[in-house]
A and B are shown apart, each in its own frame.
Chain A
Amino acid sequence: MSTAVTITAPSVKHILLDSLVVMKIVKHVDSELHAGISEVSGDACAGVLTGLVFLDNSRLEITNCFPTVRNEPVIDDDANAAQQYEEQKQQEMLDMLRKFRTMNIDYEIVGFYQSHQFGAGFSHDLVESMFDYQAMGPENVVLIYDPIKTRQGQLSLRAWRLSTAALDLASKNDWRPELVKAAGLTYQNMFEELPIIIKSSYLNNVLMSELALSKSYSSDKYSTRHFDLGSKKSLEKSVRAMMANVDELNKSIQSLTKYTIDKQRHDNMVFSLTQKRQQENESRQARGDPILPMDDIKRIKAPQLQTRNGLLDELLASFDTNALADFSKTVTSENITKLFIAEAVAEEKVAGTKDRTMSSVSSTR
């Protein structure tokens, strides 16, 4: 990452998304899921967004997008090959942008999109990519698409960007606890969410009406997917992911506590040694002997936080857990509502037992 990056504060307040982009993203992710590719090589279906920035309206218009090739596993540890691969990817991106320009499509990159289950998947790589894109243009954002929630009947797209304080720390790639605290960075103000509005052109509206009249569509249109009561499996998965995150969070908290205690002890030790040295020096001065240097004290190493990226892991894990908790919260509250609706529709109620003490978790060994 380049060190001399000027960080300008973004001024865009909301995002206008063209319906074409929504459809393209959904199609890309869904077709990969359909073909079973994502099961094999992990998720992170990604692509680049293009559009325009309107500073006077403080909005970002995203008008087109294209998918990028997913990462091939690095076969050999030849640094040259990795770099060549990077260059090739860059070349492909530029190529596509040039084609966009020929076809009168907006060719300015305004961000990228990624698909993550349950809308959570914030990792170090993501932060690095976000930083790269925001360094290219301060208004760039990342769109996270959640295919699971969409499959359950509710389109889920969220736009994030790194806050200025986070950008600052990311540029130095230095996430030590002191700096993080000095910047006042918590997991809540590390990423900013932007509201999304989906916009359709007039011709698009005609197209939608035309398609609505087509026979095959109207039978699927009123899909009662969001009435479905059986979302238990996805809930299980999200809870398990939350557990994994909380475990990681636990680990990083323990190392942070250890670090704080160590640092405290180290500071005390240095202080007391310096005091003693000074006293000795004074007494020596009184006697006329040469004074002892302080260098060897300074050379005692300060303790380091054990994790690789300082506090970044902890922030990311918290944010991830937060997103997962959001998902679980909304899904469960909706499901409870659906259950009550179903109960209201049932004709006869079983007499008496309002006893709700049973659980569906039978002995699962």
Chain B
Amino acid sequence: MASNLTVNVHPGVYMNVVDTHMRRSKSKGNAQEKCMGTLMGYYEKGSIQVTNCFAIPFNESNDDLEIDDQFNQQMISALKKTSPNEQPVGWFLTTSDITSSCLIYHDYYVRVITEASARRESPPIVVLTIDTTFSGDMAKRMPVRAYLRSKAGIPGAAGPHCAIFNPLRVELAAFPGELVAMQLMEKALDSRRREATLESGLEQLEVSTAQMIEWLERMLSYVEGVNKDGEKPGDAQIGRQLMDIVTSSSNNMQPEKLDSLVKNTLRDYVMVSYLAKLTQTQLQVHERLVSA
């Protein structure tokens, strides 16, 4: 079956799931360890894009599985108004394993999604699990898995006996702005109070240039190590990539081209900067005159 589909998840979805998990209510008798919700997105050729999600209240106590359907439907219609090109494509669960209760949830979702989708045959419905329990052999990580359900059974028998959840490949897809936001949030990993401040362009340039210098030094030491009578084994692939870098840089940064680029644009930038500052000074002067 179409199990070569890739699930492209946007980072906002992950963060929403994590946030919902932290806010799960502890007051319903047995503390809920799981969160469940709907995934929204759109279908593409060969992949399913998941761009948004929201959590729904559900109850899993004593074999009595309840899902708040009205909430689900209302949220779907509300989200449809703001992002009309998104439709429900699946659901998520913050658990470490797929259990039999997932079958029932999945059936429910099949019903909801087939109703909501415009196509005649039922579109592939994704189950996304994010393991927030930090248990078992993945104690230090938070693995993300996606599945597609398919019926399975003994060939020749009347109907399908069981369902198999086929794992799918999960990848991170992001708009360019989202990548920038993620880079900024990673700074919060270093700070003690988990905070990050918006940085100015110059600081960012400083940090990136320092990083580039570090990488170049590492590459240089590697190349020298290989050259010194094979102290380190030379990897042909790395060598090819290095050559690619050097040739492309010498092609694109020919001295005359670079020189003319610098000369031309430097004047323009200085002029624009001057005009901008002049406008600002003018505004301030005008304010003084008017309010005097």
- Shortest Cβ-Cβ A-B pairs, 10 listed: A360-B264, A30-B175, A332-B273, A200-B188, A328-B276, A325-B276, A334-B201, A104-B23, A27-B12, A23-B12
B82 touches A214 (CB 8 A): no
A197 to B195, CA, bound (A): 6
A358 touches B255 (CB 8 A): no
A322 touches B57 (CB 8 A): no
A34 touches B175 (CB 8 A): yes
A204 touches B18 (CB 8 A): yes
**Can you list 20 A-B contacts with CB-CB less than 8 angstroms, sorted by A residue number?**
A19-B15, A24-B12, A32-B83, A35-B85, A64-B19, A68-B82, A70-B82, A102-B71, A150-B176, A181-B291, A198-B197, A204-B185, A211-B14, A223-B180, A318-B287, A325-B277, A335-B269, A345-B253, A349-B255, A359-B268
A32 to B83, CA, bound (A): 8
> Interface segment, A91-99, A134-142, A163-171?
A91-99
* Residues in chain A near residue B51, CB distance under 8 A: 27, 31
Whether a CB of chain A sits under 8 angstroms from the CB of B247 is: no
Which residues in B have some Cβ–Cβ distance to A below 8 Å? 10-12, 14-16, 18-25, 51-52, 55-57, 71, 74-75, 78, 81-83, 85, 132, 141-144, 171-186, 188-189, 193-202, 204-205, 208-209, 211, 250, 253, 255-256, 258-273, 275-277, 279-280, 283-284, 286-287, 290-291
Nearest chain A residue, comparing its CB with the CB of B187? A198
Cross-interface CB contact of B175 among A31, A103, A235, cutoff 8 Å = A31
Nearest chain A residue, comparing its CB with the CB of B288? A186
Nearest chain B residue, comparing its CB with the CB of A227? B208
Chain B contact residues: over half helix, strand or loop, or mixed? helix
Q: A35-B85, A92-B78 are in contact. Are A335 and B265 (CB under 8 A)?
A: yes
Which residues in A have some Cβ–Cβ distance to B below 8 Å? 16, 18-20, 22-24, 26-32, 34-35, 47, 64, 66-70, 92, 95-96, 99, 102-105, 147, 150-151, 153-157, 181, 184, 186-188, 195-212, 214, 216-217, 220-227, 229, 232, 235, 239, 242, 246, 253, 256, 318, 321-322, 324-326, 328-339, 341-343, 345-350, 353, 355-361
B178 touches A329 (CB 8 A): no
A7 to B137, CA, bound (A): 58
B276 touches A27 (CB 8 A): no
Q: A210-B142, A329-B273 are in contact. Are A67 and B15 (CB under 8 A)?
A: no
A246 to B283, CA, bound (A): 10
A324 to B178, CA, bound (A): 23
A357 to B268, CA, bound (A): 10
Cross-interface CB contact of B266 among A29, A70, A348, A356, cutoff 8 Å = A356
A342 to B271, CA, bound (A): 20
* Residues in chain B near residue A330, CB distance under 8 A: 200-201
Cross-interface CB contact of B263 among A105, A331, A358, cutoff 8 Å = A358
A29 touches B188 (CB 8 A): no
Nearest chain A residue, comparing its CB with the CB of B274? A332
A217 touches B172 (CB 8 A): yes
A244 CB, min distance to chain B CBs, angstroms = 12
A350 touches B180 (CB 8 A): no
A92 touches B198 (CB 8 A): no
Nearest chain A residue, comparing its CB with the CB of B175? A30
A30 touches B283 (CB 8 A): no
Given pairs A214-B171, A226-B204, A232-B265, 7 additional interface contacts (CB within 8 A): A23-B12, A30-B177, A103-B23, A105-B23, A326-B276, A332-B269, A359-B264
Q: A20-B15, A27-B12, A155-B184 are in contact. Are A99 and B71 (CB under 8 A)?
A: yes
* Residues in chain A near residue B82, CB distance under 8 A: 28, 47, 66-70
A125 to B177, CA, bound (A): 27
Nearest chain A residue, comparing its CB with the CB of B281? A325
A23 touches B277 (CB 8 A): no
B183 touches A221 (CB 8 A): yes
Nearest chain B residue, comparing its CB with the CB of A343? B262
Q: A26-B175, A99-B71, A196-B198 are in contact. Are A339 and B184 (CB under 8 A)?
A: no
* Residues in chain A near residue B256, CB distance under 8 A: 350
* Residues in chain A near residue B264, CB distance under 8 A: 358-360
Q: A19-B185, A26-B175, A322-B283 are in contact. Are A203 and B22 (CB under 8 A)?
A: yes
A201 touches B265 (CB 8 A): no
